Amino acid sequence: MDVIFLSRLQFAITTVYHFLFVPLTIGLALFIAIWETSAYRSGNSEDERVARFWGRLFLLSFSVGVVTGIVQEFQFGMNWSEYSRFVGDVFGAPLAIEALLAFFLESTFLGLWIFGRHILPKSVHIACIWLVVAGSCISSVWILIANSFMQHPVGYTFSNGHAQMTHFWELISNPYFLHQFPHVISASLCTASFFVLGISALKIRQQTEDAYLFQRTFKFALFMGIVGMIGILLSGHLQAQMLSNYQPMKLAAMENLEKTQNPAPLAIVPGVEIPALLSIMVYHKPSGEVKGLDDLQKTMENRFGPGDYKPSVWLTYLSFRVMVLCSGIMVLILFYGIVWNLILGRAMHKKALLLITFGISLPHLANLTGWLLAELGRQPWIIYGLMPTDKAVSVGVSSGEVIFSLLVFLAIYGFLSTVMVYFMRQEISRGCVSKKITRKITNT
């Protein structure tokens, strides 16, 4: 295990852990803002109890997300100093704006929302949580702008051996970002929806006194989940079309398409293909050439010189299918819940409620495999077409130092996970009220 592999492994592990909380925080903040606004407009104390319950879970997720996010910043100097030196003049701007504008906006008004409930005027208190929502969205904007430069570099020039920003507008209007942002926001809505669905299903199944409140949040999460899933499917389709122009190697690796084909089939699993479906997805017609891995490798060699320009095909191929599989199961759960609970007005069966509780993991798994697809499919480039990953690692870092820091991070993250799970279980058990009921809700 060399320094490059270990540094990539460390960054992947810390990013995967951090990314467990980011979509949940973005989506759940919106849910809480809506519930707080509803409580303000209706004057209903039950709406406020709902907002406060989910707000406590949001704070636990937000806290761990902040701690793990800080580690990401340090790694650019620890393990990837050559990358930071090469692209710092471009990459540093969106990260600085994210910290100075979005993070401080989010954290400042989150503090006011927490501690100002009985101090601030109610309208100001409601405005604070909406500003938290705005801050979380703005934060994702600048992080995705930075990442989009790595996927599709624009608005730069070379000077003294490193990249310098020349067109700020090109950076923030990067077409890769414009396709990526709606997909991330939609995924955040789905992540929060299944989090609310799962916990609400658990509380309904346990027949606690506040189960009727969780029936309301359950129905609301079904609606928001459908909105998020529609956004995911539309934006994901547009992203796949974009890849055919900007990262055709990633698209070919997603389908393990070795030879250029016209029309190109879509592989469901190895050996099972739907003729011409990939061409239809890319060109909206049953004909259209999709470049294969072999031809793209030759093109890259002609452009950049000898080398292996193919990503890890089996990991890219598998990540895409796990992401699609999770999304498909989520669609089925949402469809069942909408038809059975909202349209027919029937109470959910206890086995279905248990399945939905375990469904909390589905959007997280889809998010993580989607991130792996985006990052692994870009390899061997850390900045696509500009800087190979093996040239970006810090020169003076040894394998032992990376292993040591990785073990330290794993220990800290393991401790944080234990503490967070403990307190979340405590809050979920407490619910909106802590007593059990004597009257049970009928389940069919």
Average pLDDT over residues 375-383: 88
397-421 pLDDT, tens digit each: 788 888 888 888 888 888 888 888 8
443 or 318, higher pLDDT:
318
β-bridge mates for residue 261, sequence order = 290
pLDDT of the residue at 429: 81
Tokens of 306: 């000898």
What's the pTM value of the predicted model, to 2 decimals? 0.86
Distant-in-sequence, close-in-space partners of 270: CB < 8 Å, separation ≥ 6 = 256
SS3 call for 421: helix
- Return d(Cα 132, Cα 155) in angstroms, integer: 30
Q: Is the dihedral of CA 96, 101, 106, 111 positive or negative?
A: positive
- Separation of CA 55 from chain center: 20
Torsion of CA 202, 208, 214, 216, to 10 degrees: 140
When pLDDT is cut at 50, 70 and 90, the band that residue 440 belongs to is: very low
426, with CB counted inside 10 A (0-12, 13-18, 19+), is exposed
> Are the C-beta atoms of 76 and 85 separated by less than 8 Å?
no
List alpha helices for 43-151, DSSP H. 45-78, 81-97, 104-115, 122-151
Helix (H) or strand (E) holding 158: strand 156-159
- Return d(Cα 267, Cα 281) in angstroms, integer: 13
Average pLDDT over residues 200-227: 85
Cα angle 283, 284, 288; round to 5: 40
Q: Where are the beta strands (DSSP E) in 166-213?
A: none
Quote the mean pLDDT of the chain.
84
Q: How many Cβ atoms sit within 10 Å of the Cβ of residue 47?
A: 20
Average pLDDT over residues 360-384: 89
Distant-in-sequence, close-in-space partners of 234: CB < 8 Å, separation ≥ 6 = 182
Q: How many Cβ atoms sit within 10 Å of the Cβ of residue 298?
A: 11
Pairing of strands 381-383, 387-388: antiparallel
pLDDT of the residue at 19: 84
Residue whose C-alpha is closest to residue 325's, from 375, 354, 293, 365: 365
pLDDT of the residue at 363: 92
pLDDT of the residue at 1: 64
SS3 call for 295: helix
When pLDDT is cut at 50, 70 and 90, the band that residue 189 belongs to is: very high
Tell me: pLDDT of 438 over 70: no
Tell me: pLDDT of 439 over 60: no
Buried b (16+ CB within 10 A) or exposed e, 219-234: bbbbebbbebbebbee
Tell me: pLDDT of 110 over 80: yes
70-95 pLDDT, tens digit each: 777 777 777 888 888 888 788 878 88
Under DSSP, the state recorded for 174 is -
- Return d(Cα 281, Cα 65) in angstroms, integer: 36
Tell me: pLDDT of 218 over 60: yes
18-64 pLDDT, tens digit each: 888 888 989 999 999 998 888 888 777 777 888 888 888 888 888 88
Under DSSP, the state recorded for 100 is I
- How many residues belong to the chain? 444
Tokens of 138: 């703005």
Name the least confident of 60-69, 119-128, 308-317, 433-442: 433-442
- Only one residue has tokens 């904007």, namely 141
Tell me: pLDDT of 442 over 60: no
Average pLDDT over residues 302-309: 86
Under DSSP, the state recorded for 349 is P
pLDDT of the residue at 230: 92
SS3 call for 163: strand
Tokens of 167: 């067109």
Q: How many Cβ atoms sit within 10 Å of the Cβ of residue 94?
A: 23
Q: Is the dihedral of CA 92, 95, 98, 104 positive or negative?
A: negative
Tokens of 21: 């909380």
244-291 pLDDT, tens digit each: 888 888 888 888 888 888 888 888 877 778 888 888 888 888 888 888
pLDDT of the residue at 433: 62
Tokens of 18: 């951090």
